Structure 1
Amino acid sequence: MLQRFLRRFLPDPESIRRRRSLRLIHPLLGNPSLWIVSRRSIANGLSVGLFCALMPIPCQMLVAALGAWWLRGHLPLALALVWLTNPLTMPVVFYVSYRVGAFLLHMPPGELPHKVSISWFTEQLIDAMPALLLGSLVCGLILALSANLLARLGWRWHVLNRRRRRRRR
């Protein structure tokens, strides 16, 4: 039942193969293990997608696809979760990651000036990059590991609950 529910919302292999942005990894898309809906593949796809979504890197979808292939995760789920950091959510996610990194590096967080300019922004970005990268890495790892654990436990709970209901009947 859970597998049917997930398959209803996840795209089919052919629609992902047609994406032009993924033409570099077309040979990998034929691997059937990337499309299987199982506890392990869903948990690994969830982890890879969330981890890549929090990384401030270009080509997040490509990295997520390669990570899903390497960890045998569910490819469509990993690619869909990368879009959690879209242009609307990206400033909030990266600001939280920066604050976590600044806390871990014992850096005082930067303050906004009275007038924001491009030169101020590039100067601040160079100074903030170590904190942003460390914070993104830590937040990504924590979120990915937590999601993996919760997905596996949730899947197990669902299966056991279904067995109990079946036995009662």
Structure 2
Amino acid sequence: MPRRFLQRYMPRPDTLKRQRSLRLVAPLIADARLWLLTRRSVANAFSVGLFCAMLPIPFQMLIAALGAKVTRCNLALSIGLVWITNPLTMPLIFFGNYRIGSFFLDMPVREAPDRISTRWVAEQMHDIMPALVLGSLITAVCLALLANVCIRLIWRWHVSRNWRQRRKKRQRRRAQIESEFDD
């Protein structure tokens, strides 16, 4: 992952500290270790953020922030990745998690009525919840592990590619200087 690319889109800690609405989490924001962009901190931030995003619980961002503090990974990335499950994507993702949980629990999948209402969901919650929780945990763990491995591999590939390009550039420069001396 290119560090400069990530830094371009990340918020600055000093601007976040000045916002009055974030006064309660100011000590967390002030920790400079939570803003580093290293291969380890970015990969772990993806793991924490995606894990928390797949959980069907409230306060996912707070849990991601605490997870970033515990694992000492990038705070902004871990909180930002939680928004994969936003109000538009949440029904589809959690329905997929429910189907995965139903498969592992060997339960029949409940068919939704033509019109889903909060009343219907509340009535079905007792039956749906075990499959949803299990499916969400399975998805969260798998996504967290997969993201961590992929980010580390992509980062390593990017660094080695940059090294090769720099080596080729040095070799061209050296060949150009040698050809000038030969003339």
Q: Give your verdict on TM over 0.5.
A: yes
Contact 1:49 1:77 in 2 (8 A): yes
* Amino acid aligned to 1:101: G
Look at both structures and tell me which one has the larger radius of gyration over its CA atoms. Answer: 2
Aligned-CA RMSD value? 1.8
Q: Which residue of 2 aligns with 1:79?
A: 79
Alpha carbons of structure 1 residues 98 and 164: separation in structure 2 relative to 1, 3 Å: same
Alpha carbons of structure 1 residues 153 and 115: separation in structure 2 relative to 1, 3 Å: closer
Distance 1:142 1:151 in 2: 14
The SS at the match of 1:56 is coil
Alpha carbons of structure 1 residues 4 and 109: separation in structure 2 relative to 1, 3 Å: same
* Amino acid aligned to 1:162: N
| Alpha-carbon shift at residue 43 of structure 1 (Å) | 0.5
Gaps of 5+ in 1: none
Distance 2:64 2:146 in 1: 18
After TM superposition, the structure 1 = structure 2 runs for residues 106-145 of structure 1, keeping only pairs within 5 Å, are: 106-113=106-113, 116=116, 118-145=118-145
Runs of 4+ residues deviating >6 angstroms: none
Percent identical residues: 53
Gaps of 5+ in 2: 170-183
* Amino acid aligned to 2:5: F
Alpha carbons of structure 1 residues 19 and 57: separation in structure 2 relative to 1, 3 Å: farther
| Alpha-carbon shift at residue 29 of structure 1 (Å) | 1.8
After TM superposition, the structure 1 = structure 2 runs for residues 60-99 of structure 1, keeping only pairs within 5 Å, are: 60-99=60-99
Contact 1:99 1:109 in 2 (8 A): yes
Distance 2:117 2:6 in 1: 46
Distance 1:161 1:15 in 2: 34
- Choose 117-126 or 53-62, whichever is displaced more: 117-126
* Amino acid aligned to 2:97: S
Q: Which residue of 2 aligns with 1:155?
A: 155
| Alpha-carbon shift at residue 126 of structure 1 (Å) | 1.6
Q: Which residue of 1 aligns with 2:42?
A: 42
Distance 1:76 1:19 in 2: 18
